[in-house]
């Protein structure tokens, strides 16, 4: 799994794509053990290269970590998109907007549960310059996906215009918090069925919090 190629194609001294190989290896470490497991020397080892070689491609550990974090954030966004594509679009615009929001939320939670190591890494504070990164998360693909879904919801009128501002933050907070509590908090040992229920209940609460009422005429 960690071995990228047994023998590199071009002469085995120059790797050819070491930056990517290291990022991939380090991301695998994060997948298996979370952000703390991302160790520069270990990544180099698993690629079959000296630790020093990494310094040709990364400024240091923090820089490698940053690359891994971006990978993890990308994987999260991929999962959300996949979940979005997994169910067919609904012809009714309102139901479609709701479906999108639910799919996005389920993708987020699903990723956290299936890839806890990567999920934690995506939100860790161990990388170089994580403060600017945190601020720029508002421009991340995952966040934009959410913004678009909320726009769609607003267009149908389900989300009143005056509640549109900051709506992504409420939706994100709730979903993110649920993921955290499922991973590290009191929900971590919940049996499967209960877990499903809690997730459904919470995502329903998010939707209610957005649109204001539980029952909407013609919905469901």
Q: What residues from 86 to 115 belong to the interface with its own copies (CB under 8 A)?
A: none
Q: Which residues inside 11-50 make contact with DNA, applying CB under 7 A?
A: 11, 13-16, 18, 38-42, 49-50
- 5: partner contacted, choices DNA, its own copies, none (Cβ within 5-8 A by kind): none
User: Which of DNA, its own copies, none does 218 bind, CB closer than 5 to 8 A by kind?
Assistant: none
Indicate the residue among 56 and 125 with the shorter CB distance to its own copies. 125
27: Cα within 13 Å, side-chain hemisphere: 21
Q: Is 2 in the site for DNA (CB under 7 A)?
A: no
- Considering only 62, 74, 93, 141, the residue that binds DNA (CB under 7 A) is 62
Shortest gap between Cβ of 174 and its own copies (angstroms)? 4
Q: Which of residues 138-197 bind its own copies (CB under 8 A)?
A: 138, 143, 163, 165-167, 169-170, 172-181, 184-189, 197
Buried b (16+ CB within 10 A) or exposed e, 20-50: ebbbbbbbbbbbebbbeebbbebbbebbbbe
Residues 187 and 197 sit within 8 Å (Cβ to Cβ):
no
| Shortest spacing between CB 116 and DNA, in angstroms | 21
Binding site for DNA (CB under 7 A): 10-11, 13-16, 18, 38-42, 49-53, 55-57, 60-62
């Amino acid at each position: 799994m960690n071995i990228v190629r047994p023998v590199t194609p071009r002469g085995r001294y120059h790797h050819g794509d070491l930056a990517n190989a290291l990022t991939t290896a380090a991301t695998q470490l994060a997948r298996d053990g979370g952000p703390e497991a991302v160790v520069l020397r270990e990544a180099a080892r698993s690629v079959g290269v000296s630790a020093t070689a990494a310094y040709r491609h990364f400024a240091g550990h923090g820089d490698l970590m940053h690359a891994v974090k971006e990978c993890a954030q990308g994987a999260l966004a991929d999962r959300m998109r996949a979940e979005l594509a997994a169910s067919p679009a609904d012809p009714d615009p309102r139901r479609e907007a709701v479906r999108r929001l639910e799919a996005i939320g389920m993708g987020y939670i699903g990723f956290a549960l299936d890839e806890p190591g990567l999920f934690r890494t995506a939100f860790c504070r161990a990388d170089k310059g994580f403060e600017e990164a945190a601020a720029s998360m508002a421009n991340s693909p995952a966040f934009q996906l959410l913004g678009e879904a909320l726009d769609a919801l607003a267009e149908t009128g389900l989300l009143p215009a005056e509640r549109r501002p900051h709506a992504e933050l409420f939706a994100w907070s709730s979903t993110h918090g649920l993921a955290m509590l499922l991973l590290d908090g009191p929900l971590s040992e919940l049996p499967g069925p209960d877990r499903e229920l809690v997730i459904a209940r919470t995502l329903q609460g998010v939707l209610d919090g957005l649109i204001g009422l539980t029952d909407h005429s013609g919905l469901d």
